[in-house]
Copies of this chain bind each other. A is one copy, B any other.
Amino acid sequence: MTAPVEMRELSEVECLDLLRTEPVGRLVFTEKALPAIRPVNYVLDGRDVIIRTSADSWASRVAGNVVAFEVDHIDNTSHTGWSVVLLGTATVITDIDTLVRVTDFRDRPWAPGHRDQYLRIQPGQLTGRRLSFTPA
């Protein structure tokens, strides 16, 4: 059991390319003054991460706050991987043209009756690392 060796810092272009390869990331926020983390589906809209949630859910409470969003991929065979972390303010998307675009770009129907809410995280900071881990 050793600490992971951080092999290399990734460029922003590399980070964005890697973010496009995974469907699930982890939203990191503060809840009742305590650190909290939840896995969520996401898509990219340019450089921004878009997360769909319900208006009454935990995720909607993060709107207006600075959050982190992490995506990683660890290969348990080669014991290597990468981790990309985005830091930014989460905002609720209210512009209808934007909503249509972000819900449409994967050809999925948008059902307004579901009381869906979309959060955008615009990256103020985007960092990534290639990592090496110890075999279990």
Contacts and interface: CB of A to CB of B under 8 A. Distances in A.
Contacts of A29: 35
A45 to B, nearest CB: 11
A119 to B, nearest CB: 10
A67 B35 contact: yes
Interface residues of A, number: 48
Contact of A57 (B3, B53, B83): B3
Interface string A17-33: 00000111010111000
Interface of A is mostly: strand
A106 B1 contact: yes
B1 A39 contact: no
Interface in A31-45: 34-43
Contacts of A68: 34-37
B4 A39 contact: yes
19 contacts: A1-B43, A2-B41, A2-B52, A3-B51, A3-B52, A3-B57, A3-B116, A4-B40, A4-B41, A22-B136, A24-B74, A26-B72, A34-B66, A35-B35, A36-B85, A37-B70, A39-B81, A39-B133, A41-B134
